[in-house]
Structure 1
Protein backbone atom coordinates (compact mmCIF):
# COMPACT_ATOMS: atom_id res chain seq x y z
CA UNK A 1 0.00 0.00 0.00
CA UNK A 2 1.23 3.49 -0.79
CA UNK A 3 2.87 5.04 2.26
CA UNK A 4 2.90 8.66 3.33
CA UNK A 5 -0.77 9.41 2.72
CA UNK A 6 -1.85 12.75 4.08
CA UNK A 7 -4.17 11.75 6.89
CA UNK A 8 -6.70 14.41 7.71
CA UNK A 9 -7.33 15.60 11.25
CA UNK A 10 -9.19 18.45 12.84
CA UNK A 11 -5.94 20.20 13.66
CA UNK A 12 -4.66 19.95 10.09
CA UNK A 13 -7.69 20.84 8.01
CA UNK A 14 -10.30 23.62 7.76
CA UNK A 15 -12.40 25.40 5.21
CA UNK A 16 -13.99 28.65 4.04
CA UNK A 17 -17.43 29.34 5.40
CA UNK A 18 -20.51 30.08 3.33
CA UNK A 19 -23.37 32.11 4.69
CA UNK A 20 -26.79 30.60 5.38
CA UNK A 21 -28.53 27.44 4.20
CA UNK A 22 -26.76 25.03 6.53
CA UNK A 23 -28.34 21.77 7.63
CA UNK A 24 -28.01 20.73 11.26
CA UNK A 25 -26.47 17.50 12.46
CA UNK A 26 -25.58 15.92 15.80
CA UNK A 27 -22.97 17.40 18.19
CA UNK A 28 -23.35 20.90 16.75
CA UNK A 29 -22.46 19.80 13.21
CA UNK A 30 -23.56 22.11 10.39
CA UNK A 31 -23.07 21.36 6.72
CA UNK A 32 -24.05 22.67 3.31
CA UNK A 33 -23.66 20.67 0.11
CA UNK A 34 -23.03 23.10 -2.75
CA UNK A 35 -23.00 20.59 -5.60
CA UNK A 36 -24.35 17.07 -5.35
CA UNK A 37 -23.26 14.65 -8.08
CA UNK A 38 -24.96 11.36 -8.80
CA UNK A 39 -23.20 8.31 -7.44
CA UNK A 40 -22.61 6.23 -4.34
CA UNK A 41 -21.81 8.12 -1.17
CA UNK A 42 -18.48 7.74 0.59
CA UNK A 43 -18.28 4.84 3.01
CA UNK A 44 -15.91 3.64 5.71
CA UNK A 45 -12.76 2.12 4.21
CA UNK A 46 -12.98 3.98 0.91
CA UNK A 47 -9.92 5.80 -0.41
CA UNK A 48 -10.69 9.45 -1.17
CA UNK A 49 -8.90 12.42 -2.72
CA UNK A 50 -10.08 15.87 -1.59
CA UNK A 51 -9.18 19.45 -2.25
CA UNK A 52 -9.53 21.32 1.03
CA UNK A 53 -9.39 24.80 2.46
CA UNK A 54 -9.40 24.94 6.25
CA UNK A 55 -10.31 27.99 8.32
CA UNK A 56 -11.51 29.04 11.72
CA UNK A 57 -14.67 31.11 12.01
CA UNK A 58 -12.32 34.06 12.60
CA UNK A 59 -11.16 33.47 9.00
CA UNK A 60 -7.69 32.24 9.98
CA UNK A 61 -6.47 29.74 7.39
CA UNK A 62 -5.25 26.45 8.87
CA UNK A 63 -4.66 24.54 5.66
CA UNK A 64 -5.12 25.01 1.93
CA UNK A 65 -4.47 22.12 -0.43
CA UNK A 66 -4.62 24.47 -3.41
CA UNK A 67 -1.53 26.27 -2.05
CA UNK A 68 0.15 22.88 -1.72
CA UNK A 69 -0.50 22.25 -5.41
CA UNK A 70 -2.11 18.87 -4.82
CA UNK A 71 -5.20 17.30 -3.30
CA UNK A 72 -5.12 15.42 0.02
CA UNK A 73 -5.71 11.68 0.21
CA UNK A 74 -6.86 9.42 3.01
CA UNK A 75 -8.71 6.22 3.84
CA UNK A 76 -12.09 6.95 5.38
CA UNK A 77 -12.14 5.87 9.03
CA UNK A 78 -15.18 5.05 11.10
CA UNK A 79 -16.48 8.35 12.53
CA UNK A 80 -15.22 8.80 16.10
CA UNK A 81 -18.64 10.18 17.03
CA UNK A 82 -21.86 11.18 15.32
CA UNK A 83 -21.25 14.70 14.04
CA UNK A 84 -17.50 14.58 13.41
CA UNK A 85 -15.83 15.52 10.13
CA UNK A 86 -16.02 12.07 8.56
CA UNK A 87 -19.64 11.68 9.62
CA UNK A 88 -20.31 14.63 7.31
CA UNK A 89 -17.90 13.56 4.56
CA UNK A 90 -19.74 10.23 4.30
CA UNK A 91 -22.78 12.13 3.02
CA UNK A 92 -20.86 13.10 -0.13
CA UNK A 93 -20.16 11.50 -3.50
CA UNK A 94 -17.44 11.95 -6.12
CA UNK A 95 -17.64 15.48 -7.55
CA UNK A 96 -19.51 16.92 -4.57
CA UNK A 97 -18.44 20.14 -2.90
CA UNK A 98 -19.50 21.17 0.59
CA UNK A 99 -18.84 23.33 3.60
CA UNK A 100 -18.72 21.56 6.96
CA UNK A 101 -18.68 23.33 10.32
CA UNK A 102 -17.40 21.35 13.31
CA UNK A 103 -18.35 22.67 16.75
CA UNK A 104 -15.06 22.74 18.70
CA UNK A 105 -16.69 22.59 22.16
CA UNK A 106 -18.88 19.64 21.19
CA UNK A 107 -15.89 17.81 19.70
CA UNK A 108 -13.96 18.36 22.91
CA UNK A 109 -16.83 16.91 24.95
CA UNK A 110 -16.71 13.85 22.68
CA UNK A 111 -13.05 13.33 23.58
CA UNK A 112 -11.32 15.19 20.73
CA UNK A 113 -8.34 17.34 21.83
CA UNK A 114 -8.99 21.04 21.39
CA UNK A 115 -6.56 22.39 18.74
CA UNK A 116 -4.05 24.72 20.38
CA UNK A 117 -4.29 28.41 19.56
CA UNK A 118 -7.71 28.09 17.90
CA UNK A 119 -10.23 30.71 18.97
CA UNK A 120 -13.90 30.77 18.04
CA UNK A 121 -16.74 28.27 17.92
CA UNK A 122 -16.07 26.35 14.73
CA UNK A 123 -13.45 24.78 12.52
CA UNK A 124 -14.85 25.24 9.02
CA UNK A 125 -14.02 22.91 6.16
CA UNK A 126 -14.75 23.67 2.50
CA UNK A 127 -13.96 20.70 0.32
CA UNK A 128 -14.41 19.10 -3.06
CA UNK A 129 -14.36 15.33 -3.52
CA UNK A 130 -12.00 14.83 -6.46
CA UNK A 131 -11.94 11.03 -6.53
CA UNK A 132 -13.13 7.93 -4.67
CA UNK A 133 -11.82 4.40 -4.87
CA UNK A 134 -14.46 2.18 -3.30
CA UNK A 135 -13.34 -0.35 -0.71
CA UNK A 136 -13.52 -3.87 -2.12
CA UNK A 137 -13.49 -6.39 0.70
CA UNK A 138 -13.90 -9.26 -1.77
CA UNK A 139 -10.73 -8.38 -3.66
CA UNK A 140 -8.22 -6.49 -1.50
CA UNK A 141 -5.47 -6.93 -4.10
CA UNK A 142 -7.53 -5.22 -6.80
CA UNK A 143 -8.37 -2.38 -4.38
CA UNK A 144 -4.70 -1.80 -3.64
CA UNK A 145 -3.82 -1.98 -7.32
CA UNK A 146 -6.32 0.77 -8.11
CA UNK A 147 -4.72 2.96 -5.44
CA UNK A 148 -1.24 2.32 -6.84
CA UNK A 149 -2.49 3.27 -10.31
CA UNK A 150 -4.05 6.42 -8.84
CA UNK A 151 -0.73 7.53 -7.35
CA UNK A 152 1.12 6.71 -10.56
CA UNK A 153 -1.27 8.86 -12.58
CA UNK A 154 -1.14 11.69 -10.04
CA UNK A 155 2.67 11.52 -10.01
CA UNK A 156 2.79 11.82 -13.80
CA UNK A 157 0.53 14.89 -13.64
CA UNK A 158 2.72 16.51 -10.98
CA UNK A 159 5.89 15.73 -12.91
CA UNK A 160 4.50 17.38 -16.05
CA UNK A 161 3.42 20.44 -14.07
CA UNK A 162 6.81 21.05 -12.42
CA UNK A 163 8.56 23.01 -15.19
CA UNK A 164 5.51 25.23 -15.83
CA UNK A 165 5.34 26.01 -12.08
CA UNK A 166 8.98 27.11 -12.09
CA UNK A 167 8.58 29.19 -15.26
CA UNK A 168 5.44 30.86 -13.89
CA UNK A 169 7.17 31.68 -10.58
CA UNK A 170 10.13 33.30 -12.32
CA UNK A 171 7.92 35.19 -14.78
CA UNK A 172 5.30 36.42 -12.31
CA UNK A 173 7.99 37.65 -9.90
CA UNK A 174 10.02 39.25 -12.75
CA UNK A 175 13.19 37.44 -11.72
CA UNK A 176 16.43 37.20 -13.68
CA UNK A 177 17.70 33.76 -12.84
CA UNK A 178 20.92 32.06 -13.86
CA UNK A 179 20.37 28.39 -14.61
CA UNK A 180 23.20 26.01 -13.65
CA UNK A 181 23.86 22.70 -15.48
CA UNK A 182 22.22 20.80 -12.59
CA UNK A 183 18.93 22.61 -13.15
CA UNK A 184 19.28 24.84 -10.09
CA UNK A 185 18.37 28.47 -10.84
CA UNK A 186 19.88 31.32 -8.82
CA UNK A 187 18.83 34.94 -8.53
CA UNK A 188 21.54 37.10 -6.95
CA UNK A 189 19.87 39.86 -4.93
CA UNK A 190 23.05 41.12 -3.28
CA UNK A 191 26.58 40.13 -4.20
CA UNK A 192 28.62 39.19 -1.16
CA UNK A 193 32.04 40.72 -0.57
CA UNK A 194 33.42 38.16 1.89
CA UNK A 195 34.89 34.70 1.42
CA UNK A 196 33.16 32.00 -0.61
CA UNK A 197 32.54 28.75 1.30
CA UNK A 198 34.21 25.51 0.33
CA UNK A 199 33.03 21.97 0.95
CA UNK A 200 33.40 21.24 4.67
CA UNK A 201 33.25 24.89 5.82
CA UNK A 202 30.59 25.81 8.36
CA UNK A 203 28.12 28.38 7.14
CA UNK A 204 25.60 30.47 9.03
CA UNK A 205 22.57 31.26 6.87
CA UNK A 206 19.20 32.86 7.31
CA UNK A 207 16.66 31.19 5.06
CA UNK A 208 13.01 31.20 4.07
CA UNK A 209 11.64 28.16 2.22
CA UNK A 210 8.57 28.51 0.00
CA UNK A 211 6.51 26.60 -2.49
CA UNK A 212 6.10 28.18 -5.92
CA UNK A 213 2.58 29.15 -4.81
CA UNK A 214 4.29 31.53 -2.36
CA UNK A 215 3.34 29.45 0.69
CA UNK A 216 6.13 29.66 3.29
CA UNK A 217 6.81 26.29 4.90
CA UNK A 218 9.86 27.16 7.04
CA UNK A 219 12.07 30.08 7.95
CA UNK A 220 14.84 31.07 10.34
CA UNK A 221 13.45 34.62 10.60
CA UNK A 222 10.91 35.22 13.38
CA UNK A 223 9.26 38.18 11.67
CA UNK A 224 8.73 36.18 8.48
CA UNK A 225 7.32 33.27 10.49
CA UNK A 226 4.77 35.59 12.13
CA UNK A 227 3.71 37.15 8.82
CA UNK A 228 3.37 33.71 7.26
CA UNK A 229 1.34 32.20 10.09
CA UNK A 230 3.92 29.55 10.99
CA UNK A 231 5.44 31.23 14.05
CA UNK A 232 6.43 28.78 16.78
CA UNK A 233 7.16 30.37 20.21
CA UNK A 234 8.99 27.21 21.24
CA UNK A 235 11.59 27.88 18.58
CA UNK A 236 12.64 31.23 20.07
CA UNK A 237 15.12 32.64 19.69
CA UNK A 238 14.97 32.22 15.93
CA UNK A 239 18.54 32.09 14.63
CA UNK A 240 20.68 31.18 11.65
CA UNK A 241 20.95 27.66 10.32
CA UNK A 242 24.53 26.55 11.04
CA UNK A 243 25.87 23.57 9.14
CA UNK A 244 28.85 22.06 7.38
CA UNK A 245 28.16 22.82 3.75
CA UNK A 246 28.50 20.30 0.92
CA UNK A 247 28.15 17.32 3.24
CA UNK A 248 24.64 16.19 2.39
CA UNK A 249 23.18 17.73 5.54
CA UNK A 250 20.60 19.53 3.41
CA UNK A 251 18.93 18.91 0.06
CA UNK A 252 21.41 18.98 -2.87
CA UNK A 253 20.06 22.22 -4.35
CA UNK A 254 20.59 24.05 -1.05
CA UNK A 255 24.18 22.78 -0.79
CA UNK A 256 24.99 23.67 -4.39
CA UNK A 257 23.47 27.13 -4.16
CA UNK A 258 25.23 28.19 -0.95
CA UNK A 259 28.58 27.07 -2.39
CA UNK A 260 28.16 29.68 -5.16
CA UNK A 261 27.68 32.58 -2.71
CA UNK A 262 30.03 34.83 -0.78
CA UNK A 263 29.72 36.02 2.81
CA UNK A 264 27.23 38.88 3.08
CA UNK A 265 25.40 37.87 -0.08
CA UNK A 266 21.69 37.31 -0.58
CA UNK A 267 20.27 34.95 -3.20
CA UNK A 268 17.09 33.18 -4.24
CA UNK A 269 17.36 29.52 -5.19
CA UNK A 270 14.70 27.96 -7.43
CA UNK A 271 15.27 24.27 -6.81
CA UNK A 272 13.76 21.56 -9.04
CA UNK A 273 12.45 18.48 -7.25
CA UNK A 274 15.36 16.32 -8.47
CA UNK A 275 17.60 18.50 -6.25
CA UNK A 276 15.06 18.49 -3.40
CA UNK A 277 12.61 15.73 -2.41
CA UNK A 278 12.19 14.11 -5.81
CA UNK A 279 9.38 11.77 -6.82
CA UNK A 280 8.36 10.87 -3.26
CA UNK A 281 8.19 14.27 -1.57
CA UNK A 282 8.78 14.79 2.13
CA UNK A 283 6.91 12.09 4.02
CA UNK A 284 4.49 13.51 6.54
CA UNK A 285 5.10 17.08 5.36
CA UNK A 286 3.59 19.60 2.98
CA UNK A 287 6.18 19.02 0.26
CA UNK A 288 4.68 16.56 -2.20
CA UNK A 289 6.16 14.55 -5.07
CA UNK A 290 7.80 16.53 -7.88
CA UNK A 291 7.56 19.77 -5.89
CA UNK A 292 9.99 22.56 -6.83
CA UNK A 293 11.11 24.74 -3.93
CA UNK A 294 12.17 28.34 -3.52
CA UNK A 295 14.70 29.39 -0.88
CA UNK A 296 15.60 32.96 0.00
CA UNK A 297 19.11 32.83 1.47
CA UNK A 298 21.39 35.26 3.31
CA UNK A 299 24.92 33.99 3.89
CA UNK A 300 25.71 35.59 7.25
CA UNK A 301 29.08 33.98 7.98
CA UNK A 302 31.58 31.40 6.79
CA UNK A 303 33.82 29.52 9.22
CA UNK A 304 36.63 27.73 7.38
CA UNK A 305 36.83 24.01 7.98
CA UNK A 306 39.65 21.53 7.62
CA UNK A 307 38.44 20.17 4.32
CA UNK A 308 36.11 17.26 3.74
CA UNK A 309 34.98 14.72 1.22
CA UNK A 310 33.26 15.91 -1.95
CA UNK A 311 29.51 16.39 -1.74
CA UNK A 312 27.16 13.59 -2.70
CA UNK A 313 25.96 13.73 -6.33
CA UNK A 314 22.64 15.43 -7.01
CA UNK A 315 21.07 12.08 -7.91
CA UNK A 316 21.48 10.85 -4.34
CA UNK A 317 18.48 10.75 -2.05
CA UNK A 318 17.96 14.29 -0.77
CA UNK A 319 18.47 14.94 2.91
CA UNK A 320 16.25 16.91 5.26
CA UNK A 321 16.82 20.61 4.40
CA UNK A 322 16.79 21.45 8.10
CA UNK A 323 19.00 18.65 9.39
CA UNK A 324 21.29 19.75 12.19
CA UNK A 325 19.06 22.72 13.05
CA UNK A 326 17.11 22.78 16.28
CA UNK A 327 13.62 24.14 15.78
Structure 2
Protein backbone atom coordinates (compact mmCIF):
# COMPACT_ATOMS: atom_id res chain seq x y z
CA UNK A 1 0.00 0.00 0.00
CA UNK A 2 2.78 2.44 0.96
CA UNK A 3 4.66 1.60 -2.26
CA UNK A 4 1.55 2.28 -4.32
CA UNK A 5 1.04 5.61 -2.59
CA UNK A 6 4.69 6.54 -3.17
CA UNK A 7 4.34 5.80 -6.88
CA UNK A 8 1.19 7.86 -7.10
CA UNK A 9 2.83 10.68 -5.17
CA UNK A 10 5.67 10.77 -7.66
CA UNK A 11 3.14 10.80 -10.49
CA UNK A 12 1.29 13.74 -8.99
CA UNK A 13 4.42 15.74 -8.31
CA UNK A 14 5.48 15.29 -11.93
CA UNK A 15 1.96 15.90 -13.24
CA UNK A 16 1.52 18.76 -15.62
CA UNK A 17 -0.95 21.59 -15.37
CA UNK A 18 -4.37 20.84 -16.78
CA UNK A 19 -5.20 22.65 -20.03
CA UNK A 20 -8.90 22.19 -19.25
CA UNK A 21 -9.08 23.92 -15.85
CA UNK A 22 -6.85 26.85 -15.01
CA UNK A 23 -4.80 26.32 -11.85
CA UNK A 24 -5.55 22.59 -11.74
CA UNK A 25 -3.21 19.64 -12.26
CA UNK A 26 -4.19 16.52 -14.15
CA UNK A 27 -4.31 13.22 -12.27
CA UNK A 28 -5.41 11.51 -15.46
CA UNK A 29 -7.61 12.42 -18.42
CA UNK A 30 -10.83 12.83 -16.45
CA UNK A 31 -9.66 13.79 -12.93
CA UNK A 32 -8.00 17.11 -12.02
CA UNK A 33 -7.08 18.67 -8.67
CA UNK A 34 -5.98 21.91 -7.08
CA UNK A 35 -4.63 22.61 -3.58
CA UNK A 36 -6.42 25.69 -2.29
CA UNK A 37 -4.55 26.01 1.00
CA UNK A 38 -1.50 24.31 2.48
CA UNK A 39 -1.70 22.78 5.93
CA UNK A 40 0.54 22.04 8.89
CA UNK A 41 3.39 19.87 7.63
CA UNK A 42 3.92 18.50 11.15
CA UNK A 43 0.45 16.91 10.98
CA UNK A 44 0.79 14.62 7.98
CA UNK A 45 -1.73 11.99 6.94
CA UNK A 46 -0.49 8.40 7.15
CA UNK A 47 -2.15 5.00 7.16
CA UNK A 48 -2.50 4.90 10.96
CA UNK A 49 -4.02 8.37 11.19
CA UNK A 50 -7.61 9.13 12.04
CA UNK A 51 -8.68 11.81 9.58
CA UNK A 52 -11.65 14.17 9.85
CA UNK A 53 -12.78 15.61 6.51
CA UNK A 54 -15.42 18.08 5.46
CA UNK A 55 -16.55 17.00 2.00
CA UNK A 56 -18.74 19.10 -0.28
CA UNK A 57 -19.95 18.06 -3.72
CA UNK A 58 -21.24 20.66 -6.15
CA UNK A 59 -21.90 21.23 -9.82
CA UNK A 60 -18.88 22.01 -11.97
CA UNK A 61 -19.77 25.72 -12.14
CA UNK A 62 -20.56 25.96 -8.40
CA UNK A 63 -24.13 26.95 -9.22
CA UNK A 64 -25.56 24.10 -7.15
CA UNK A 65 -24.37 22.67 -3.84
CA UNK A 66 -25.54 19.06 -3.81
CA UNK A 67 -24.31 17.84 -0.43
CA UNK A 68 -21.90 18.58 2.42
CA UNK A 69 -20.80 16.08 5.03
CA UNK A 70 -18.15 15.49 7.68
CA UNK A 71 -16.43 12.11 7.83
CA UNK A 72 -13.96 10.77 10.42
CA UNK A 73 -12.23 7.49 9.62
CA UNK A 74 -8.98 5.63 10.04
CA UNK A 75 -7.23 6.55 6.82
CA UNK A 76 -5.57 3.18 6.14
CA UNK A 77 -8.88 1.29 6.24
CA UNK A 78 -10.97 3.90 4.41
CA UNK A 79 -12.64 2.52 1.28
CA UNK A 80 -12.34 5.70 -0.75
CA UNK A 81 -11.79 6.20 -4.47
CA UNK A 82 -8.11 5.59 -5.21
CA UNK A 83 -7.58 9.01 -6.80
CA UNK A 84 -8.99 10.81 -3.76
CA UNK A 85 -7.16 8.59 -1.30
CA UNK A 86 -3.85 9.15 -3.07
CA UNK A 87 -4.32 12.91 -2.97
CA UNK A 88 -5.20 12.87 0.73
CA UNK A 89 -2.15 10.69 1.40
CA UNK A 90 0.05 13.61 0.27
CA UNK A 91 -1.81 16.16 2.42
CA UNK A 92 -1.59 17.66 5.89
CA UNK A 93 -4.03 18.85 8.52
CA UNK A 94 -5.59 22.17 7.51
CA UNK A 95 -5.26 21.65 3.76
CA UNK A 96 -8.08 22.23 1.31
CA UNK A 97 -8.30 20.55 -2.08
CA UNK A 98 -10.68 20.80 -4.99
CA UNK A 99 -11.07 17.80 -7.30
CA UNK A 100 -12.91 17.79 -10.62
CA UNK A 101 -14.02 14.52 -12.16
CA UNK A 102 -16.92 12.43 -13.32
CA UNK A 103 -19.45 10.84 -10.98
CA UNK A 104 -18.08 7.43 -11.97
CA UNK A 105 -14.36 8.23 -11.59
CA UNK A 106 -14.84 9.83 -8.18
CA UNK A 107 -17.35 7.16 -7.08
CA UNK A 108 -19.52 9.97 -5.75
CA UNK A 109 -22.61 7.76 -5.60
CA UNK A 110 -20.84 5.54 -3.05
CA UNK A 111 -19.89 8.56 -0.95
CA UNK A 112 -23.18 10.41 -1.07
CA UNK A 113 -25.86 7.79 -1.66
CA UNK A 114 -28.82 8.28 -1.80
CA UNK A 115 -28.21 11.87 -2.98
CA UNK A 116 -28.93 12.32 -6.70
CA UNK A 117 -25.61 13.44 -8.20
CA UNK A 118 -26.48 12.82 -11.84
CA UNK A 119 -25.35 10.37 -14.51
CA UNK A 120 -22.05 8.48 -14.30
CA UNK A 121 -20.44 10.75 -16.90
CA UNK A 122 -21.63 13.98 -15.23
CA UNK A 123 -18.79 16.24 -14.14
CA UNK A 124 -18.76 17.32 -10.51
CA UNK A 125 -16.53 19.24 -8.16
CA UNK A 126 -15.44 17.85 -4.79
CA UNK A 127 -14.10 20.21 -2.15
CA UNK A 128 -12.16 18.48 0.65
CA UNK A 129 -11.01 20.18 3.83
CA UNK A 130 -8.82 18.17 6.22
CA UNK A 131 -10.09 19.30 9.61
CA UNK A 132 -7.93 17.09 11.78
CA UNK A 133 -5.23 14.44 11.61
CA UNK A 134 -4.96 12.53 14.89
CA UNK A 135 -3.19 9.45 16.16
CA UNK A 136 -5.37 6.69 17.61
CA UNK A 137 -4.29 7.36 21.21
CA UNK A 138 -5.12 11.06 20.89
CA UNK A 139 -8.50 10.32 19.35
CA UNK A 140 -9.36 7.84 22.11
CA UNK A 141 -8.53 10.49 24.71
CA UNK A 142 -10.70 13.06 22.91
CA UNK A 143 -13.61 10.64 22.74
CA UNK A 144 -13.25 9.81 26.43
CA UNK A 145 -13.34 13.53 27.25
CA UNK A 146 -16.40 13.98 25.05
CA UNK A 147 -18.20 11.14 26.85
CA UNK A 148 -17.26 12.60 30.23
CA UNK A 149 -18.50 16.03 29.17
CA UNK A 150 -21.76 14.48 27.97
CA UNK A 151 -22.17 12.68 31.31
CA UNK A 152 -21.59 15.93 33.23
CA UNK A 153 -24.12 17.74 31.05
CA UNK A 154 -26.78 15.07 31.54
CA UNK A 155 -26.18 14.96 35.30
CA UNK A 156 -26.33 18.75 35.44
CA UNK A 157 -29.69 18.80 33.68
CA UNK A 158 -31.14 16.17 36.02
CA UNK A 159 -29.85 17.94 39.14
CA UNK A 160 -31.19 21.28 37.93
CA UNK A 161 -34.66 19.84 37.32
CA UNK A 162 -34.63 18.09 40.70
CA UNK A 163 -33.68 21.37 42.38
CA UNK A 164 -36.53 23.20 40.65
CA UNK A 165 -38.97 20.56 41.86
CA UNK A 166 -37.67 20.26 45.43
CA UNK A 167 -37.52 24.04 45.94
CA UNK A 168 -40.92 24.50 44.26
CA UNK A 169 -39.72 27.13 41.82
CA UNK A 170 -41.94 27.83 38.82
CA UNK A 171 -42.05 30.23 35.88
CA UNK A 172 -43.33 33.07 38.07
CA UNK A 173 -39.99 32.95 39.93
CA UNK A 174 -37.90 33.27 36.76
CA UNK A 175 -36.17 36.64 36.40
CA UNK A 176 -33.56 37.27 33.70
CA UNK A 177 -32.48 33.65 33.62
CA UNK A 178 -32.39 32.90 37.37
CA UNK A 179 -35.05 31.56 39.71
CA UNK A 180 -35.47 34.06 42.56
CA UNK A 181 -37.73 34.03 45.61
CA UNK A 182 -37.72 36.66 48.34
CA UNK A 183 -37.99 35.13 51.82
CA UNK A 184 -38.02 38.44 53.66
CA UNK A 185 -38.38 41.83 52.00
CA UNK A 186 -35.79 44.35 53.12
CA UNK A 187 -36.73 47.86 54.23
CA UNK A 188 -33.49 49.58 53.32
CA UNK A 189 -31.83 50.67 50.09
CA UNK A 190 -30.96 48.61 47.04
CA UNK A 191 -27.33 48.38 46.09
CA UNK A 192 -26.27 50.78 43.34
CA UNK A 193 -23.60 50.65 40.68
CA UNK A 194 -20.23 51.29 42.28
CA UNK A 195 -21.62 50.62 45.74
CA UNK A 196 -20.59 48.09 48.36
CA UNK A 197 -22.67 45.62 50.34
CA UNK A 198 -22.11 43.18 53.19
CA UNK A 199 -23.76 39.85 52.42
CA UNK A 200 -24.12 36.59 54.28
CA UNK A 201 -24.90 33.53 52.19
CA UNK A 202 -24.87 29.77 51.99
CA UNK A 203 -24.06 28.10 48.69
CA UNK A 204 -25.22 24.65 47.61
CA UNK A 205 -24.84 22.49 44.55
CA UNK A 206 -28.14 21.55 42.93
CA UNK A 207 -28.00 18.18 44.70
CA UNK A 208 -28.11 19.98 48.07
CA UNK A 209 -24.43 19.68 49.00
CA UNK A 210 -23.23 22.70 50.98
CA UNK A 211 -20.04 24.16 49.47
CA UNK A 212 -19.73 27.59 51.14
CA UNK A 213 -21.09 29.33 54.26
CA UNK A 214 -20.16 32.89 55.26
CA UNK A 215 -22.20 32.66 58.48
CA UNK A 216 -19.20 30.89 60.00
CA UNK A 217 -17.18 34.06 59.59
CA UNK A 218 -17.58 37.71 58.58
CA UNK A 219 -20.07 38.77 55.89
CA UNK A 220 -18.82 38.84 52.33
CA UNK A 221 -17.93 42.35 51.13
CA UNK A 222 -19.35 42.74 47.64
CA UNK A 223 -18.25 45.60 45.38
CA UNK A 224 -20.69 46.14 42.51
CA UNK A 225 -18.92 46.12 39.18
CA UNK A 226 -15.65 44.64 40.43
CA UNK A 227 -14.55 42.14 37.73
CA UNK A 228 -14.70 38.41 38.50
CA UNK A 229 -15.71 38.90 42.14
CA UNK A 230 -19.05 37.08 41.94
CA UNK A 231 -21.03 34.91 39.55
CA UNK A 232 -23.16 36.77 37.01
CA UNK A 233 -26.32 35.16 38.38
CA UNK A 234 -25.37 36.15 41.94
CA UNK A 235 -24.97 39.80 40.91
CA UNK A 236 -28.39 39.73 39.22
CA UNK A 237 -30.04 38.33 42.35
CA UNK A 238 -28.43 40.78 44.78
CA UNK A 239 -29.57 43.65 42.53
CA UNK A 240 -33.18 42.57 43.21
CA UNK A 241 -32.77 42.76 47.00
CA UNK A 242 -32.89 45.56 49.56
CA UNK A 243 -30.92 46.02 52.76
CA UNK A 244 -32.21 43.63 55.41
CA UNK A 245 -33.77 41.30 52.85
CA UNK A 246 -33.34 37.55 52.56
CA UNK A 247 -33.76 35.49 49.40
CA UNK A 248 -33.24 32.08 47.89
CA UNK A 249 -32.21 31.74 44.26
CA UNK A 250 -31.23 29.04 41.79
CA UNK A 251 -28.65 29.94 39.15
CA UNK A 252 -28.42 27.81 35.96
CA UNK A 253 -24.91 26.73 34.96
CA UNK A 254 -24.63 29.32 32.17
CA UNK A 255 -24.86 32.12 34.75
CA UNK A 256 -22.71 30.23 37.26
CA UNK A 257 -19.49 28.32 36.46
CA UNK A 258 -20.45 27.37 32.92
CA UNK A 259 -19.58 24.17 31.11
CA UNK A 260 -16.12 23.91 32.68
CA UNK A 261 -16.98 24.12 36.37
CA UNK A 262 -14.94 25.94 39.01
CA UNK A 263 -11.15 26.13 38.80
CA UNK A 264 -10.95 24.45 42.22
CA UNK A 265 -12.85 21.42 40.94
CA UNK A 266 -15.44 21.72 43.71
CA UNK A 267 -18.18 22.70 41.26
CA UNK A 268 -18.46 20.22 38.36
CA UNK A 269 -19.14 21.34 34.78
CA UNK A 270 -22.78 22.19 33.92
CA UNK A 271 -23.67 22.68 37.60
CA UNK A 272 -26.49 24.91 38.77
CA UNK A 273 -25.94 26.72 42.08
CA UNK A 274 -28.38 27.42 44.92
CA UNK A 275 -27.94 30.42 47.21
CA UNK A 276 -29.57 31.47 50.45
CA UNK A 277 -28.52 35.10 50.83
CA UNK A 278 -29.04 37.93 53.31
CA UNK A 279 -28.23 41.51 52.33
CA UNK A 280 -26.98 42.72 55.71
CA UNK A 281 -25.84 46.24 54.89
CA UNK A 282 -25.69 48.52 51.85
CA UNK A 283 -22.88 51.10 51.67
CA UNK A 284 -23.65 53.17 48.56
Q: TM-score, normalised by structure 2?
A: 0.49
More strand by share: 2
Higher Cα Rg, which structure: 2
More helix by share: 2
